Amino acid sequence: MLIFKLAFRNILRQRRRSLLTALSMAGGYMLFVFSMSLLEGSWTNVVDIFTLDHTGHVQIHKDDYAKRPKIYKTITDRDSVESVLTGNEGVKGWAPRVYSTALAYGGDKTSIAQIFGIDVTLEPSVTRIKQKVTEGIYFDNQPDADGYAKAMIGRGLANILKLNIGDEIVLISSGADGSIANDVFVISAIVGNTTSFDRLGVFLPITVAQRFLSIDADVHEYALLARDKHANERLARSLQLALPQLKVSPWQEIEATFYRTMQSDKQSNYFTMGLIVFIVFVGVLNTVLMSVLERTKEFGVLRSIGCRPSELVKLIFIETVMLAFASILAGLVLILPVIMWFTNVGLKLDIAFDMGGVVFDTMKGDFSAYVIFMPMGFMLLTAALISLPPGLRAARILPREAMGSH
Amino acid sequence: MTTVIETRELVRKFGSGETQVTALNEVSITIRKGEFTAITGPSGSGKTTLLQLIGGLDEPDAGDVFLSGSNIAKMSGSELSDFRRDHIGFIFQSYNLIPVLSAEENIEYIMLLQGISAKIRQSRVREMLALVGLEGMGDRRPANLSGGQQQRVAVARAMASKPDIILADEPTANLDSKTGIALLDVMRQLNQQMDMTFVFSTHDHKIMDRADRLVHLEDGVIHLDESRSV
Ligand SMILES: Nc1ncnc2c1ncn2[C@@H]1O[C@H](COP(=O)(O)OP(=O)(O)OP(=O)(O)O)[C@@H](O)[C@H]1O
Ligand SMILES: [Mg+2]
């Protein structure tokens, strides 16, 4: 097509100027992609850390248990919930849970403790509980030789109560029926560290916890992992439809404060990048406008020989978008290895920090269509818009400028 | 013979008040198909202005221009644009080829605007290049052509759309007299071979001598309008 040839050669006409314009656009694009990659990468990392540590991608509760947990707000019709979960393609794994608080005694020490009743076999399909065992071995449902049920306790609790593997721990709490619950358990493992969210936790096999709290076979929560973690909100909605009697919440609702922080951090990055793109394109606008004014006579000639004004708008549009596209592609080629390295290897941080017992020590990038094409689309759109004022300026050039005698 | 250009009492003024100039003052002229007309007159007499009004590049303050019977004042902007594309060819003093396009592409571009198919465009480009004596130079950029060659390309470009009229504002002014005369001979030949109507302005006596009609302007008024046999 002659018009593309014309546009292309017009770009090459002022090589140095086009190159500088292209560099600014390529630079803007690279910065945009890089910041998006790191931002998406770090947040995904953090979200993975807590969803795989305990939250899961979606949770199911009775009424408002998530906000106001009460021991009696239990899910009783477990069969129907579990058949829905098992039957849903989008669910990768699920596990039932029971919660309560208790007083814990070890020797002459005492502490507050949180009881987590978990399904010994299902829980590892949702969380990294097995990997969090730092001492001893992951427990099972079998009582020990003396008939005591096994428990795993958080590192914080172990420190306070000065307990080790094989020691006994006494828990006192109240059952759902108001009765006093107390029992002795034997420690099979210590999990996490002193900053983990479950540092004061006591993990019990779920049936043991149910008996201890007198809640029959009922549970307080189902946590589940989505097959596609990015589609967890959609999964929550579809499960909610199937389970109208219960409350299904994506992690975004469970960790609402965190989610808001994350969103506003992302928004402030969009804003910064928008500003950078804006600055880049103010320069581009200026250059394109200049190139149009320089070609006043030429456009006058084109108008004289019968070029419609719209033809000139089209020409400037093609020139601008073509240059932007080429710049973005060049930027992509340069930034691709960088974000691939950040995604696959990542930058080791000098100071590792601990998030809920999981160490966060590498700055990771994200490598996805979104990170590459969102900035690309945004910048191409901006280029298209920015070509309009110079294009309209060119269209207004009078055909008699071609004579150029005055 | 059919009339292709008719102007009726064309008036064009520039500026206002004290400094107002009347570039054309009630100019009426009729040009028939196949005529080879030279517009002459001293600098500032209104030659360029007249050609611009005839070609629809500018609007008169009063009077009308009829091209092949249509009043161009009645046309909208894009109608006029299309009319120029399909019915008028322009040749400028300073050639005004598109510098980034080759000779061929310069000629082709206007046909592209007309929506002519690639095959016909290609064959017509070759035909036009041959007519102006530039066979084999089609892929050169204007910068690699001499002034006379560039102006021949401009003539070919003006002819390519098969217009009714070709308007040329001092087409030879930037050329030495030998080259200028050679160019004019090319135009004359096209005029005779293809019965194409040419209107051009000039200062040069040797050029005027080749026209079969001389329209002499002074201060925006036609002083002399003579037909002659060459
Ligand atoms: N755009 C304009 N603005 C102001 N005055 C103009 C303009 N165009 C033409 N004029 C004036 O109109 C008159 C006629 O100008 P025109 O260019 O038609 O003369 P010309 O015969 O072509 O002259 P030349 O031989 O120098 O090319 C001149 O006095 C000129 O100054
Ligand atoms: Mg003039």
Report pLDDT for A7.
93
Residues in chain B within 8 Å Cβ distance of A309: 77-78, 81
Over residues B77-115, the pLDDT tens digits come to: 888 999 999 999 999 999 999 999 999 999 999 999 999
Contact B90 A305 (CB under 8 A): yes
Total structural domains within chain B: 1
Residue (of A71, A20, A96) closest to A291 by Cα position: A20
Q: Which two tokens stand for residue A228?
A: 């596609």
A403 interfacial to chain B (CB closer than 8 Å): yes
Residues of A in contact with B112 (CB under 8 A): 2-3
Which percentage of chain A shows pLDDT scores above 70? 98
Here the tokens at position A39 are 């931002």
pLDDT of residue A401: 84
Q: Is B193 in the pocket of ligand 1 (CB under 6 A)?
A: no
Centre of ligand 2 to C-alpha A363, Å, is 70
pTM of the model: 0.84
Tell me the mean pLDDT in the region A151-177.
Answer: 95
Q: How many whole angstroms separate alpha carbon A156 and alpha carbon B186?
A: 101
Query: How many residues make up chain A in this entry?
Result: 406
Contact B48 A405 (CB under 8 A): yes
Amino acid at A230: H
| Rounded CA separation A209/B117 (Å) | 83
Judge contact between B95 and B150, C-beta under 8 A.
Answer: yes
pLDDT of residue A406: 43
pLDDT in tens, A126-159: 999 999 999 999 999 999 888 999 999 999 999 9
Structure confidence at residue A212 (pLDDT): 95
Q: What is the ipTM of this complex?
A: 0.92
Report chain A's mean pLDDT, rounded to a whole number: 93
- What is the structure's pLDDT at A346? 87
Contact A147, A135 (CB under 8 A): no
Measured between beta carbons, which residues in chain A are less than 8 angstroms from residue B114? 306
The answer to whether residues A212 and A177 touch, using CB atoms and an 8 Å cutoff, is no
Q: What is the pLDDT of residues A85-124, one digit of tens each?
A: 999 999 999 999 999 999 999 989 999 999 999 999 999 9
Whether residue A244 contacts residue A77, with contact meaning beta carbons closer than 8 Å, is answered with: no
Q: Alpha-carbon dihedral of residues B102, B106, B111, B115, nearest 10 degrees?
A: 70
* Predicted local distance difference test score (pLDDT) of residue B69: 87
* B118-142 mean pLDDT: 93
pLDDT, one tens digit per residue, over A313-324 is: 999 999 999 999
- Give A306's contacts in chain B (Cβ within 8 Å): 81-86, 88, 110, 113-114, 161
Residue nearest to atom 11 of ligand 1 (CA): B23
Nearest CA in chain B to A401: B57
Interval between CA A398 and ligand 1 midpoint (Å): 16
Compute the distance between CA of residue A340 and CA of residue A342 in angstroms, rounded to an integer: 5
Block residue for tokens 């007198």: A214
Of B10, B16, B20, B21, the one to substitute when testing ligand 1's pocket (max ligand atoms within 8 A of C-beta) is B21
Ligand that comes closest to the CA of residue B46: 1
Q: Which ligand is nearest to the CA of B220?
A: 1
Query: What is the predicted pLDDT for the residue at A404?
Result: 63
* Beta carbon pairs, A and B, within 8 Å: 88
Residue A244 has pLDDT above 50, yes or no: yes
d(CA A87, CA A97): 20
Q: Note the ligand closest to the C-alpha atom of B44.
A: 1
pLDDT for res A357: 53
Q: Which of B58, B77, B85 sits opposite A306 (nearest CB)?
A: B85
Interchain contact A311–B (C-beta under 8 A): yes
Closest by Cβ to B96, choosing from A13, A311, A402: A402
Residues of B with CB under 8 A from a CB of A: 48, 52, 55-58, 77-78, 81-86, 88-90, 92-94, 96, 98-101, 105, 108-110, 112-114, 157-158, 161, 169
User: Which has the minimum average pLDDT: A43-52, A214-223, A286-295, B87-96?
Assistant: A43-52
CA B6 vs CA A221, A403, B57, B71: distances in Å: 93, 22, 16, 9
Biggest CA–CA distance in chain A, Å, is 111
Q: How many Cβ atoms sit within 10 Å of the Cβ of residue A75?
A: 23
Q: Which residue type sits at A194? A: T
Residues counted in chain B: 230
Is the four-CA dihedral A21, A22, A24, A29 of positive or negative sign? Answer: positive
Q: Using the CB atoms, write b or e for A277-314: b if 16+ within 10 Å.
A: beebbeebbebbbebbeebbbbbbbbbbbbbbbebbbb
Cβ–Cβ < 8 Å for A104, A212: no
Q: Which residues of A87-124 are buried (b: 16+ CB within 10 A; e: fewer)?
A: ebebbbbbbbbbbbbbebbbeeeebebbbbbbbbebbb
Mean pLDDT of B178-202: 91
Whether A9 sits inside 8 A of B101 (CB atoms) is yes
**Mutation test of the interface with chain A: which of B52, B164, B201, choosing the one with the most A Cβ atoms within 10 A?**
B52
How many angstroms separate the CA of residue B163 from the nearest CA in chain A?
11
User: A219: which residues sit within 8 A by CB, 6+ positions away?
Assistant: A74, A75, A78, A96, A97, A98, A117, A206, A210
Q: In the predicted model, what is the mean pLDDT of residues A377-392? A: 96
Ligand 1 atom at minimum distance from B45 CA: 21
- Distance CA(B200)–CA(B198), nearest Å, equals 6
A313 contacts on B by Cβ (under 8 Å): none
Cα–Cα separations (whole angstroms), residue B157 to A9, A302, A357? 20, 12, 78
Categorize the per-residue pLDDT at A1 as very low, low, confident or very high, splitting at 50, 70 and 90: confident
Residue numbers in B near A397 (CB within 8 A): none
Q: Which residues pair with A388 in a beta bridge?
A: none
Interface test with A, best of B84, B93, B100 (most A CBs within 10 A): B100
User: Quick one: pLDDT band at residue A354, thresholds 50, 70, 90?
Assistant: low
**Residue range(s) defining the domain that contains residue B206:** 3-227
pLDDT at A123: 97
Instruction: Please give the residue of chain A at the shortest CA–CA distance from B169.
Output: A403
- Residue A49 is predicted with a pLDDT of 87
Tell whether ligand 1 has an atom less than 6 A from the beta carbon of residue B48: yes
Q: What is the pLDDT of residue B78?
A: 86
A297 reaches B (C-beta below 8 A) = yes
Distance between CA A131 and CA A354 in Å, rounded?
15
What would the DSSP string read from start to end of chain B?
--EEEEEEEEEEEES-GGG-EEEEEEEEEEEETT-EEEEE-STTSSHHHHHHHHTTSS--SEEEEEETTEEGGGS-HHHHHHHHHHHEEEE-TT----TTS-HHHHHHHHHHHTT--HHHHHHHHHHHHHHTT-TT-TT--GGGS-HHHHHHHHHHHHHHT--SEEEEESTTTTS-HHHHHHHHHHHHHHHHHH--EEEEE-S-HHHHTT-SEEEEEETTEEEEEEE---
Between CA A313 and CA A319 the distance in angstroms is 10
- Angle of CA points B121, B79, B50, to nearest 5°: 95
Residue with tokens 């269509």: A369
- The per-residue pLDDT for range A7-58, each reduced to its tens digit, is 999 999 999 999 999 999 999 999 999 999 999 998 888 898 889 999 999 9
CB of residue B45 inside a 6 A radius of ligand 1 = yes
Average pLDDT over residues A344-372: 79
B37: CATH? 3.40.50.300
Residue B118 reports pLDDT greater than 70: yes
Q: What's chain B's average pLDDT? A: 92
Q: What percent of chain A has pLDDT over 90?
A: 84
pLDDT for B213 equals 94
CA of A294 to the centre of ligand 2 (A): 22
Our answer on whether the CB atom of B46 is closer than 6 Å to any ligand 1 atom is yes
Angle at A19 between CA A16 and CA A25, to 5 degrees: 145
